[in-house]
Structure 1
């Protein structure tokens, strides 16, 4: 999920600095489970979703409904963008001023765990309740069997494609990268008769940032190479200097450099630009999460019903990121039972589907996969992609690997580049090994 700039949202009263300082305190903390006490409990939630629309509005509506059913509970939100969330958590944890509930992800949960800032949700929520979720999603949200955050939504990377154009050309969803290339070439064409292409097969996100890096990593892994992994001896190693990694990079950049199935200006094409290309009919395929569906349709409502999804094509195997986002309960919270009760309410089937239908990201309960809205062509590929999702490496410097791979494809995509895939991956492996060496110190 890409989350935007900082805003602060409050349902009843704005959070002030003094409120943050006493965020884990209730007006009366002996109320026990929600609804059992007569005195009021204040539950503070630091939410990244509050910085988004319509997600923040839907989350507020759910909280308002909960408070109506539990008049002794008052919920207050603090909106912090995902770009600033990790830093904010670190500051508040160091100052012992954590809110009751806060946004967390697999990429950051080890850092928070080392701060002793999270409560084990396995005990609070119960084993039977957790059986409702995809087992690999719960595993991805846990450390040593202790659930660090309840996984609320998942935005697995998959292939979004124009189903109407595929059907018109007699094409099927690409299973392999060879299928993908053939489809991209057939869909790159001159539609207005001026002798120049005005429709391209693939809207590649070629910027050197996390947005671009997270889309290339599943491609890399689909070729059988991993940016960083543990070997049989439990030591961190990288596959970036292997033939499979070089093949992945060569193929990916050749889509632009050799085959010409990517619109011009690829190194400046970020997610907003790529989504607009599909919305305007300039491109037919895009690698992204399900949130992109809403972005595209909001720009061009005529695209509703024309967008399909499928797992990212394979060389050796399909691959996807989990893209999990959820909530942790602070270890210092005095309202843990109330917080757990609210989180169960937030993730109940009705609310989970309501949030998905309004925003795009998938629910994380296995039983909801058969819901009509998730079995439709636009979402079905994302649901299927979840079974191919890989666990994020737990190396503390993992976020830097996005830049490592992004630098590699950017240097090859540059119009005047004379760098080879072999040279680019040797440099990438060198950078990766520097991080691995630091990890061991």
Structure 2
């Protein structure tokens, strides 16, 4: 059989519990390039396995950031937000009735309230100092209240509770929203639509800071009969020429600090913003309940909260019970 394979962090507990992947600790400890990988990313690898060991070698990521329209910022007289408070203020100031008919034409923030929206939502929770370990803390609830308030105050489209990926991108491209959250995978389409009138910045923080990370890693099978050679291959893909080639061709974000500094990555505005966000990028807890929580519990609970059927505190209690039941 194969010696190595690509894998996702979400699959880690299943494969580790069945002893199918090799523990990489001893290989990494003697690997000369291990410090090329950010400590936060190593922590994410360990957290995914629910152990103190690493079973996945980082390969490439996709880091969520905030797309914005420079022309709209200029018209509103604001600069790129550096803090969470400035970001919330920008959502208000970018919301406009452009033709004077008494109705909002441009919303400050393109909110994703449907499936997949848990990723940008997490940035609000952690900006207030909340964590995913306990959604019911006052700090986490405060982040949830900020999210609700953007909708209630009319700074996000009224369709937000049902807006998924297609809707937030369409709203942004049509000029209906001034900011939205996604990753470098949508940058080519943004440039096709706006040319130079689109840019991005990392989601700002305050008491805390977090953004969501999409990932593809590599693993070594325990059944491999060529483990030293297999690790050399994993290392080549993580920090060697394989890392440069793969990320250059696919447009994914490098995990190697040395590769991140290369001109072809630093000279791309969306790649550069992705790299800036990488040190505080992470994932949700990988539990047996995570899939259902993401696909059903989170969107249903958020819809109820945005529509005023439950409070921020009640919503967070439901989200806590759903993920940690």
Question: What's the CA shift string for 1:197-229, capped at 9, x where partnerless?
Answer: 33221111110x3x111221222122122232x
Question: What's the CA shift string for 1:310-337, capped at 9, x where partnerless?
Answer: 2223342221234332111211234545
CA contact (8 A) 1:107 1:392 kept: no
**SS in structure 1 of the partner of residue 203 of structure 2:** coil
Which of residues 100, 104, 122 is equivalent to 1:217?
122
**SS in structure 2 of the partner of residue 147 of structure 1:** coil
Q: 2:33 maps to which residue?
A: 129
Matches within 5 A, 1:20-99: 24=1, 99=2
User: For the residues of structure 2 that align with 1:214 and 1:374, how far apart are their CA atoms?
Assistant: 24
User: For the residues of structure 2 that align with 1:357 and 1:195, how far apart are their CA atoms?
Assistant: 47
Q: Give the number of the structure with larger relative contact order, counting CA–CA contacts within 8 Å between residues 6 or more apart.
A: 2
User: For the residues of structure 1 that align with 2:262 and 2:98, how far apart are their CA atoms?
Assistant: 38
**Distance apart, 1:404 and its partner CA:** 4.0
The reply on whether 1:429 has 2:324 as its aligned counterpart is: no
Change (3 A) 1:102 1:141: same
User: For the residues of structure 2 that align with 1:391 and 1:205, how far apart are their CA atoms?
Assistant: 18
TM-score (norm 2): 0.84
**Distance apart, 1:123 and its partner CA:** 4.5
Q: 1:27 maps to which residue?
A: none
Structure 1 stretches of 4+ with a deviation exceeding 6 A read none
**SS in structure 2 of the partner of residue 128 of structure 1:** coil
User: For the residues of structure 2 that align with 1:378 and 1:361, how far apart are their CA atoms?
Assistant: 11
Change (3 A) 1:116 1:218: same
User: For the residues of structure 2 that align with 1:256 and 1:175, how far apart are their CA atoms?
Assistant: 22
Question: What's the CA shift string for 1:3-38, capped at 9, x where partnerless?
Answer: xxxxxxxxxxxxxxxxxxxxx0xxxxxxxxxxxxxx
Change (3 A) 1:342 1:404: same
Which of residues 351, 370, 383 is equivalent to 2:261?
370
The reply on whether 1:317 has 2:224 as its aligned counterpart is: no
The reply on whether 1:252 has 2:147 as its aligned counterpart is: yes
Matches within 5 A, 1:204-353: 204-207=111-114, 209=115, 211-228=116-133, 238=134, 240-258=135-153, 260-297=154-191, 301-347=192-238, 351-353=242-244
State the aligned residue count. 319
Which protein has the bigger helix share? 2
Change (3 A) 1:134 1:423: closer
**SS in structure 2 of the partner of residue 321 of structure 1:** strand
TM-score (norm 1): 0.64
RMSD: 2.9
Q: 1:115 maps to which residue?
A: 18
User: For the residues of structure 2 that align with 1:268 and 1:200, how far apart are their CA atoms?
Assistant: 16
Which of residues 309, 316, 321 is equivalent to 1:418?
309
